[in-house]
Homo-oligomer: A and B are copies of this chain.
C-alpha cells in the first residue's frame, strides 16, 4: 500500500567531528521517503526552489518516489546549517533560511488524497491539518511528527493534529513538553488520552519507546562504532516504521513492534554517513542482515516464561531512616 508524506526538502550544510558537507540533499520528507521507499511506494508533497539539482531529483526517481507533488517555485530551496560537537547527539543550528518553504501550501495531486498511509512530517501544524482535510477518505493510518517550536507557538493548531493522528512520533523532550509532564510514561499516557492510539518516543542513541494504552515496547538503537552524522535519523526512523506497516499491512501490536525495529534499522544506516549517502544506496540484504543484528542485540529468552532461581524469605515491609 502506498504512502503520502508532506514535509520539507532542504539543502543541509553540516559539520561534525568527522568532517563536513555543504548543501547536501536533506529535509524531513526526503529522509522519510527514501527510507520508506525500500518497503512501499511513496508520494512526496513538498516545495523546492529553482536551484534544486537534477541529480537530486534523479535520486528520488531511482527510489520510485512520486514527485508530482514536489512543487518547484522561483527562489531558493530551504537551507539548514548545523553543527555537532563531541557529543554527537545534539545539533546546534547555526542558520535556517526558509526561502521558498516560507510560503509552502501543500496541494495534493490526483490520487494523493486516497493514499492509505499518510505521514505528516514536522511542519506548521496548520499545514499538517490542511493536508488531513484534503484527504478524500480517512487513511488507514496517519502518523505525525512535530517540534518544540510548534508546541510553544501553535499549541491549539497542534492539538487538532494530535487529536487526529493514529501515531505521534516525537522525541523525548517534545513528549515531555507537549504533555507538561517530566515522567516519560506518564507523559505518553497523557498524550494517548488526546487521541493517538500510539505514541512513539524517539531517543536518538538510546533507541525508541512505543506506548499504546495496553502495551509498552522498547526498541534499542544499535551501538554503532561509526556515527558520522545523525541528521535525519528521526525522519528515517519514521520512514522505516511507516514503510514496514504499509508493506506488511499488519496494524496489530506485533506489526507495530516490528515496524519500530525496522525504523531503528533504517536510522542506523543514516547516521553512518553524511546526509543520505548510506541510506540512498542500500541493498535488501543489508537491511535484512541488520534486522537480524537487532534481534541478536535484544533477545534474551525464548518465551519470557523462564522460572528464575529465586530464594524465598519471610520479609516484612518496613522503612529505614525517617521522613525528612
Contacts and interface: CB of A to CB of B under 8 A. Distances in A.
B217 A308 contact: no
A32 to B, nearest CB: 16
Contact of A287 (B298, B304, B310): B310
Interface in A273-324: 274-277, 280-282, 284, 287-288, 291-292, 294-301, 303-324
A75 to B, nearest CB: 19
Contacts of A203: 206
A162 interface: no
Nearest to A20: B324
B25 A184 contact: no
Counting every copy of the chain, the complex holds 2
A261 interface: yes
A297 B64 contact: no
Interface stretch (A66-74, A113-121, A123-131, A219-227): A219-227
Contacts of A194: none
Given A206-B203, A223-B184, A300-B217, A281 B23 contact: no
Of A56, A64, A182, A309, chain B has the most CB atoms within 10 Å of the CB of: A309
A8 interface: no
A21 interface: yes
Contacts of A55: 318, 320
A244 B309 contact: yes
A94 to B, nearest CB: 12
Given A185-B225, A292-B304, A321 B280 contact: no
A14 B308 CA distance: 32
B218 A298 contact: yes
Nearest to A211: B223
Given A258-B306, A277-B317, 19 more contacts: A19-B324, A22-B323, A23-B321, A24-B321, A38-B311, A59-B320, A184-B205, A184-B223, A185-B225, A207-B218, A216-B222, A216-B297, A218-B223, A218-B298, A247-B309, A247-B311, A254-B300, A288-B307, A288-B310
Interface of A: 11-15, 19-25, 37-40, 53, 55-56, 59, 62-64, 86-88, 182-186, 188-189, 203, 205-207, 209, 211, 215-220, 222-227, 244, 247-248, 254, 257-258, 260-262, 274-277, 280-282, 284, 287-288, 291-292, 294-301, 303-324
25 contacts: A19-B323, A20-B324, A21-B319, A21-B324, A22-B322, A24-B320, A24-B321, A25-B320, A37-B313, A38-B313, A39-B308, A39-B310, A40-B311, A59-B320, A64-B313, A185-B224, A218-B220, A261-B300, A275-B321, A277-B318, A277-B319, A281-B315, A284-B310, A291-B308, A298-B300
